[in-house]
Structure 1
Amino acid sequence: MEMETSNGSIPAEEAHTSLIHGLPDDLALLCLARVPRTYHHVLKCVSKRWKALLCSDVWYSCRQNLQLAESWVYAFCRDSCDCLCIYVLDPSRRCWKHIKDPPIPCMKRYGMAYAVLERKLYLLGGCGESEDASDDAYCYDALTDTWEKVASLLVPRCHFACEALDGCLYAVGGMGLTYESLQTWEIYDPHVNSWQCSSDPSIPSDIGESAIVNGKMYIRHISPDIVPNSYAAMFDLSDNKWHPVDNEMVMGWRGPAVVVGGSLYVLDQTSGIKLMTWKEETREWALVGRLSTLFTKPPCCVAAIGKRIFVIGKGLNTVVIDTQTAGRIQGIMLCTSIPGLVDFDDLVVSCKTISI
């Protein structure tokens, strides 16, 4: 099992030292892999070899294969200076902490897309008040706590949709250099670090929310009250095409979406804060319950871990809803809360989860 640190090779004398004295490295790996994720930063301090292990593909694969991986929530926020900052929530400790800031060129950009592939967060495109749409693409490795620039988008774009599907990233629509609506989409393959671009007239303008439902990517127009030429579209891997959609699901979809156990949930914030779910058997949206504004400050974003939905509002104030056991009192959902940070009033613009 060969490993390197992020700064280079391990010294020869340490490379030949056992991970745990008296145990073969393969058995030592199986032991260390069972340490909860919340203590991984401590393990990295033991030795250069342990740090290299915890930053390696071997470690990531072992945790995944043994079904030991734990998901944490990553929140992209805008601070009082309009700079982008990122915080991570360890559900076991129920507290938020700041992680390494993104690269300086994109800290004040708007309209960026955020996506996750395996253990990496991707930050794509965007534009500024005096800056045209960008083709920049960066990724953050949650194992090594490092940022790097990856292959640029083929088309500069901002305010676009991006989702992970079948091991690739899909960047769709948005606005280009002259603020025209783009009817192009790109696929990023992380194994070869390159994009491929295609065009399709079925891609709607002014894309709002997007989601992967039953292996298909759905995107919708930003406002349900405006009826454009194409309101929503669905990408099907089976024919590699976008198809216009105007069914009951997309027409009633109002707000950030998340999929839990194969079911689509949407946080409707048009009047109060309501959690809705799509009932495929009856082809209608059903109210799960309302959320109290005492614990959440809209606008809110959503993320999911297992059967739990995390609703994260301004200041990182968070409520956790267990979709299997959540009850209601007079229509208000019973849920647990995680306090935000003290004297922190940042706006949350997106939330993602990474499992390690």
Structure 2
Amino acid sequence: MGSIMSLSCSKSRMSSQDEGNASESRKRQKMSPEYEGDSSRLIPGLPDELSMQILARLPRICYFKARLVSGKWKSALLSSELYSLRQELGKTEEWLYVLTKGQEDKLLWYALDPVSMKWQKLPPMPATVYEEEPRESFSSLWNMANPSVKVVEIVRNWFRRKDASEQMPFCGCSIGAVGGCLYVLGGFSRSWTMNSVWRFDPVFNKWSKANSMLVNRAYSKTGILNNKLYVVGGVNNGRRGGLSPIQSAEVYDPSSDTWLEIPSMPFSKAEMLPNAFFTGFLKPIATGMTSYNGRLCVSQSLYSWPIVVDVGGEIYDPETNSWVEMPAGMGEGWPARQAGTKLSVVVDGELYAFDPSSSAENGKIKVYDQNEDAWKVVIGEVPVYDLTESESPYLLAGLHGKLHFITRDRNRNITVLRADVPDSSSSPSSSSSPVVGSCPFHGKADSVDTSDTVIWNVIATKDLGAAELISCQVIDL
């Protein structure tokens, strides 16, 4: 009897073990790559449509590591479908991209995520060399240069160099951002201006070459209208080997990677010049360009180093493909910084400009009043700690619908400041801190309620050593 029961229990255990082995086999089969099931999906158990919705909601700073999960995740995170979905869901993020000039005059890009306050260093830009440059052209002197260039210092440093193939101290390239990509246009290779265009795609985190501009140019001005990149003015190599200002303009369509010539920038103030001598001596150059109210506003100056005379500007309308003279108050009152160049930005439809004061440690922010054709002070004091003689000791940017000021703090760190109007009913944001030693700054324009207090909050800092600020752009992805 006992042996019969023992045999019965043994058979029962064997039957149970067989069932368990079969169950485990089925599980392994489902997990096997050959099994047609969840293994082909981005997230097991979820439709890919829902998985894409989840990925689109992740902060963009997470994408760098998320690509390492699997090949399918990497393909999804690099797809245009994901970024279109982010836009549909209202989950795009604005990042600030800052161009600096470091040791040995190398241009380096850094990206700031203002939410996480993390910085990312971009891959270095490809080196471009103008191969057809004759060696004897090195000895040619400039007869004209952009006002932001310290000509005497550049020429002095240039002749000190032993190798004529070394690049200029500052490459003179122009910067733009359109279609979710950064663009670096023109500049110098050795002593020759270029028409090359390099594009940086933040999604793939790499540089690629775009179609070249129609005209070789350096120190040109750029602006964005209707998702197209406009380039105006600058300088190029003249007939005698020196540099001469140009007034030509062109537009780039990123969707087709093509350039199209548009009417050259006119100079309506030519009648101001008393005689032909001054007409040949003083040349009109573009000193700033901003996209405002659907048009390109280009400020101008008459220039022949060391003389700089502000003379208003011109406005380009893409609808009529024509230029009109800039309103007198706008052009003549546009605040100028070093050597006549203009620093401005549009935030929520308002045109702001930085006006350096006589003090070395502050300045003012002005806004353009279109109705009165006048510039008015809206922030009476802006902390400026960078006392170096850099080309761009400070920059302006519009980020998350607010005005931002990029400069150096007292510790020589690159600092991003945000202009905030605090809400008395809420506590200060934990993600930012007021500028050390600063006090509230009151707007002084008639159009601004002077009871509102503007506080400059530090949202990010970065120790970049002795690197100088060159330019900045904002990309929304």
TM-score normalised to structure 2 length: 0.66
Partner of 1:210: 289
* Residues 1:164 and 2:254 aligned together: no
More moved, 293-302 vs 202-211: 293-302
Do 2:246 and 2:285's aligned partners in 1 also have CA atoms closer than 8 Å?
Answer: no
Give 3-state SS (helix, strand or coil) of 1:340's partner: strand
Partner of 1:282: 372
* Residues 1:306 and 2:400 aligned together: yes
> Which residue identity is paired with 1:23?
L
Do 1:135 and 1:154's aligned partners in 2 also have CA atoms closer than 8 Å?
Answer: yes
Q: Post-superposition shift, 1:96?
A: 2.9
Q: How far apart in 2 are the matches of 1:42 and 1:86?
A: 21
* 1:134-213 equivalence runs, <5 A: 134-178=194-238, 179-200=243-264, 202=266, 205-213=284-292
Give per-residue Cα distances to partners, 1:51-93, cap 9 Å, x unaligned: 1211121111111111110000000111132110001111012
Q: 1:318 aligns with which of 416, 432, 450?
A: 416
Instruction: Judging by fraction of residues, say which structure has more helix.
Output: 2
More moved, 245-254 vs 185-194: 245-254
Partner of 2:174: 113
Partner of 1:329: 440
Cα 1:324–1:152 shift into 2, 3 Å: farther
Cα 1:175–1:20 shift into 2, 3 Å: same
More moved, 81-90 vs 175-184: 175-184
Q: How far apart in 2 are the matches of 1:19 and 1:120?
A: 27
* 1:13-32 equivalence runs, <5 A: 17-32=40-55
Cα 1:38–1:207 shift into 2, 3 Å: same
Q: 1:93 aligns with which of 95, 100, 116?
A: 116
Cα 1:324–1:285 shift into 2, 3 Å: farther
Q: Post-superposition shift, 1:143?
A: 0.6
Give 3-state SS (helix, strand or coil) of 2:64's partner: helix
Partner of 1:293: 384
* Residues 1:260 and 2:347 aligned together: yes
> Which residue identity is paired with 1:152?
S
Cα 1:277–1:42 shift into 2, 3 Å: same
Cα 1:219–1:324 shift into 2, 3 Å: farther
Q: Post-superposition shift, 1:270?
A: 4.4
Structure 1: stretches of 5+ with no match in the other structure: 1-12
Give 3-state SS (helix, strand or coil) of 1:105's partner: coil
Q: How far apart in 2 are the matches of 1:207 and 1:66?
A: 40
Q: How far apart in 2 are the matches of 1:21 and 1:239?
A: 55
Give 3-state SS (helix, strand or coil) of 1:61's partner: helix
Aligned residues, how many? 342
Cα 1:270–1:95 shift into 2, 3 Å: farther
* Residues 1:247 and 2:328 aligned together: yes
Q: How far apart in 1 are the matches of 2:37 and 2:223?
A: 41
> Which residue identity is paired with 1:148?
S
Cα 1:133–1:321 shift into 2, 3 Å: same
* Residues 1:347 and 2:448 aligned together: no
> Which residue identity is paired with 2:366?
M
Q: How far apart in 1 are the matches of 2:55 and 2:376?
A: 44
Give per-residue Cα distances to partners, 1:23-58, cap 9 Å, x unaligned: 111111111111112212121121121112111211
Give per-residue Cα distances to partners, 1:285-322, cap 9 Å, x unaligned: 22122112359987201111122222112442221113
Identity of matched residues, %: 26
Q: Post-superposition shift, 1:123?
A: 0.3
Q: 1:231 aligns with which of 303, 312, 334?
A: 312
Q: How far apart in 2 are the matches of 1:328 and 1:250?
A: 32
* 1:32-43 equivalence runs, <5 A: 32-43=55-66
Q: How far apart in 2 are the matches of 1:324 and 1:135?
A: 46
Cα 1:324–1:57 shift into 2, 3 Å: farther
Cα 1:323–1:48 shift into 2, 3 Å: farther
Q: Post-superposition shift, 1:283?
A: 2.9
More moved, 31-40 vs 275-284: 275-284
> Which residue identity is paired with 2:353?
V
Q: How far apart in 1 are the matches of 2:209 and 2:222?
A: 17
Structure 2: stretches of 5+ with no match in the other structure: 1-35, 130-166, 268-282, 336-341, 424-433, 443-452
Q: How far apart in 1 are the matches of 2:387 and 2:44?
A: 49
Q: Post-superposition shift, 1:278?
A: 1.4
Give 3-state SS (helix, strand or coil) of 2:475's partner: strand
Do 1:14 and 1:49's aligned partners in 2 also have CA atoms closer than 8 Å?
Answer: no
Cα 1:296–1:36 shift into 2, 3 Å: farther
> Which residue identity is paired with 2:474?
T
Do 1:296 and 1:319's aligned partners in 2 also have CA atoms closer than 8 Å?
Answer: no
Cα 1:330–1:158 shift into 2, 3 Å: closer
Q: CA RMSD in A?
A: 2.9
Partner of 1:6: none
Q: How far apart in 2 are the matches of 1:258 and 1:323?
A: 19
* 1:69-80 equivalence runs, <5 A: 69-80=92-103
